[in-house]
Structure 1
Amino acid sequence: MGGKRRKKAVALKYDVQDIAPKVVAKGQGFIADKILEKAQQQKLPIYKDEEVVEKLYNLEIQQYIPEDLYKIVAEILIFIGYLDKIAKNETNA
């Protein structure tokens, strides 16, 4: 029986003094909707990738991401930084 999968969301936080990004919120269904809503309200970037979310969802709140996720999360952070740079250039133009 292939029921509809519930939406999941995971929020990460990274400070340069941290050893790695860490999970600061996660949830599914209604909670996932609230996490996404809060991110939109704060104009935080949202990256959608079910496979990455599944891996991150298995982590605990305040847990640093494991080394096997460093590469993909680094690529996401670089992409987000690139989007931020474009947005800043457009607002300064």
Structure 2
Amino acid sequence: MSDHTTRHAIALRYDGQHTPTLTAKGEDALAEAILALAREHQVPIYENADLLRLLARLELGDEIPEALYRCIAEIIAFAWYLKGKRPVGFIPD
């Protein structure tokens, strides 16, 4: 019996105009490479096993399903906030 736990990673691309798309997914060494690249480029990393399982069903280049728009939008908004970014035309209260 092996104690090895498979590591998974998913990467999404969002340009601010179109629906986020799946740009990378992988297990173990590929997952570690995806995460290392994200860290290198200071991309925030969000961990959620349930969301990962849903997104892993997509093929590379697929848009996220409409049912996940709100969830993904909240994650993107938080990632932008962490990086000090604001949407075009955003006026704070």
TM norm. shorter chain > 0.5: yes
CA shift, 1:4, in A, is: 4.7
Alignment of 1:1-93 (within 5 A): 4-18=4-18, 20-85=19-84
Give the C-alpha shift of residue 16 in structure 1.
2.6
> How large is the Cα RMSD of the aligned pairs?
1.9
Q: Structure 1: which 4+ aligned runs deviate by more than 3 Å?
A: none
Q: Residue 46 of structure 2 aligns to which amino acid in structure 1? A: Y
TM-score, normalised via structure 2 length: 0.82
Residues 71/48 of structure 1: CA separation in 2 closer, same or farther (3 Å cut) = same
- The structure richer in helix per residue is 1
Which secondary structure does the structure 1 equivalent of 2:42 belong to?
coil
- Relative distance call for 1:17 and 1:82 in structure 2 (3 A) is closer
Q: Calculate the TM-score normalised by the size of structure 1.
A: 0.82
- How many residue pairs get aligned? The number is 85
Percentage of pairs with the same residue: 38
* 1:17, distance to aligned residue in structure 2 (A): 3.0
Which structure 2 residue ranges, 5 or more long, are not aligned? Answer: 86-93
Q: Distance in 1 between matches of 2:30 and 2:63?
A: 21
- Structure 1 unaligned spans of 5+: 87-93
Instruction: Tell me the distance in 2 between the aligned counterparts of 1:27 and 1:60.
Output: 11
Question: Structure 1: which amino acid aligns with 2:7?
Answer: K
